[in-house]
Chain A
Amino acid sequence: QKEVEQDPGPLSVPEGAIVSLNCTYSNSAFQYFMWYRQYSRKGPELLMYTYSSGNKEDGRFTAQVDKSSKYISLFIRDSQPSDSATYLCAIEGAGSYQLTFGKGTKLSVIP
């Protein structure tokens, strides 16, 4: 079993839809949870960073962590065409200093 599982999609939604992106992980030692966004032919950039269970909100984006289920989610409200990108979850164990990335989910928001 891979340490981090992420459905690669692709996922296509109409503009204005609520998007849910998810990852599962197997190692209960993971303590830091991140979402990166990668536009086509660009490097990834950090979108959300959290280290505890629960929700963290930033504008239209909400990151959710459920450590008991080893499940993390990213919700995008009122999705826009500019949200079209690949979204990668990244998870890290405390003190490991090495991120494990999911394979990424490609999202297209159709105007």
Chain B
Amino acid sequence: IAGITQAPTSQILAAGRRMTLRCTQDMRHNAMYWYRQDLGLGLRLIHYSNTAGTTGKGEVPDGYSVSRANTDDFPLTLASAVPSQTSVYFCASSSLLRGGTGELFFGEGSRLTVL
């Protein structure tokens, strides 16, 4: 059972370059999320999608964009990377319950370093 697959697992990127982090799920969950995790700051929501075709902004959306063309894929794009975007990025999915998010299933993370 794959669950959530993220790629790449790690990447070093020059500032100003464009980068897309890929996320695919095989659980047919309707909701998907992108978080970044930084030491001392915890997990912070970047963008989310409650269903295919819709997206929303989380706590720290600036500098990032997402799309949700289908149920399974939710790529995160950094249009012009900056060093402050150095972080570990986690994709997650959930089958939304009535009134709540339900259990989040996370990928293994993508470690991004912007120089």
Q: Is B24 positioned at the interface, with any CB of A under 8 Å from its CB?
A: no
Q: Is A68 positioned at the interface, with any CB of B under 8 Å from its CB?
A: no
Q: Type the 1/0 row for B38-50, where 1 means its CB is closer than 8 Å to any CB of A.
A: 0011111100101
Give the residues in chain B near A8, CB-CB below 8 Å. 40
Q: Type the 1/0 row for A26-63, where 1 means its CB is closer than 8 Å to any CB of B.
A: 00000110101000011111100101000000000000
- For A92, give its contact among B44, B90, B101, B107 (CB under 8 Å): B101
Asked if A88 and B101 make an inter-chain contact with CB atoms under 8 angstroms apart, the answer reads: no
Give the residues in chain A near B50, CB-CB below 8 Å. 97
Give the residues in chain A near B107, CB-CB below 8 Å. 43
How many of chain A's residues have a CB under 8 angstroms from any CB in B? Answer: 26
Q: Is B78 positioned at the interface, with any CB of A under 8 Å from its CB?
A: no
* Least Cβ–Cβ distance between B66 and chain A, in angstroms: 15
Give the residues in chain A near B100, CB-CB below 8 Å. 31-32, 51, 92, 94-95, 97
Apart from A88-B42, A103-B41: 11 A-B pairs, beta carbons within 8 A: A6-B42, A42-B109, A44-B43, A44-B90, A45-B106, A90-B104, A94-B99, A95-B99, A97-B50, A98-B101, A103-B42
- B residues with CB within 8 A of A: 4, 31, 40-45, 48, 50, 58, 90, 92, 96, 99-101, 103-104, 106-109
11 contacts between A and B (CB under 8 A): A41-B108, A43-B106, A43-B109, A44-B43, A44-B90, A46-B103, A51-B100, A92-B100, A97-B31, A101-B43, A101-B44
